[in-house]
Each structure stands twice: as structure tokens, then as C-alpha cells.
Amino acid sequence: AQRVTQPEKLLSVFKGAPVELKCNYSYSGSPELFWYVQYSRQRLQLLLRHISRESIKGFTADLNKGETSFHLKKPFAQEEDSAMYYCALSRTSGSRLTFGEGTQLTVNP
């Protein structure tokens, strides 16, 4: 069975500080990992995926297969980054997403 764990339900940082949202997963194969974000009063949307190796809105995430982690990082947090962040896993392209419980990030001025 696949499982995604986000150990922090709440995370609060000051503007300009680095931020790291933790994500650990359990799956016996080679999953695809994603970060989804939900801003206030908006729908859930894809932030980034590990296969793209891209930086979106200054965020990056590195897949560490040895530690089965996919932590989301940003060197300088902005107030507009305040949102709910979900880490998610899928076994294959197009298959269902298994989500973590989410981390509510608050960036204070």
C-alpha cells in the first residue's frame, strides 16, 4: 500500500526566511511525486512534480529515494506563499493520487 506523510500540520515563518515543508512516502515501487497547493478560496492546483525537476514560484523539491522523502523548499518565503500544501504520490502516470494530510503554511510580514 502507498502512503504519504506530512509531519507538520501547521508551519509559520517570517517573510524572507527559508521554508521547508516535509513529505515522506512509503511505496515499494518507483512512484511519481507531486506537490499540490490550495490558496485561500481557490481550487487545488499542481505546484510541481518531481519528474519535471523545475522550480515554480521559487519552490523546488528533490526526490530522495533513499530516505523516501520529497521535501518542498523555498529560500525566501513571501506572504503570497501562505496556503495549504499537499504532497501526493501516484503509482503510474494517470493513476489515482494518494495525498498527505497537508501542511498549512503561514508567512508572516
Partner 1 sequence: EAEVAQSPRYKITEKSQAVAFWCDPISGHATLYWYRQILGQGPELLVQFQDESVVDDSQLPKDRFSAERLKGVDSTLKIQPAELGDSAMYLCASSWDSGTGTTTDTQYFGPGTRLTVL
Work out how close the CB of 13 gets to partner 1 at its nearest, in angstroms, rounded to a whole number: 22
Cβ-defined contacts of 91-96 (< 8 Å, 24+)? 91/2, 91/27, 91/29, 91/31, 91/32, 92/32, 93/32
**Interface with partner 1: number of residues (CB under 8 A):** 22
Binding mask 71-100 for partner 1 (x = CB under 8 A): ---------------x-x-x--xxxxxxxx
Cβ contact 33:63 at 8 Å: yes
Looking at the Cβ atoms of 77 and 88, the one nearer to partner 1 is: 88
Q: Which residues, including other chains, have CB under 8 Å from residue 23's CB and lie 6 or more apart?
A: 4, 5, 6, 33, 35, 61, 69, 70, 71, 72, 87, 100
Of 25, 72, 74, 102, the one binding partner 1 (CB under 8 A) is 102
29 binds partner 1 (CB under 8 A): no
Of 23, 25, 49, 74, the one binding partner 1 (CB under 8 A) is 49
Return residues touching partner 1 (CB under 8 A).
4, 9, 32, 34, 43-46, 49, 86, 88, 90, 93-102
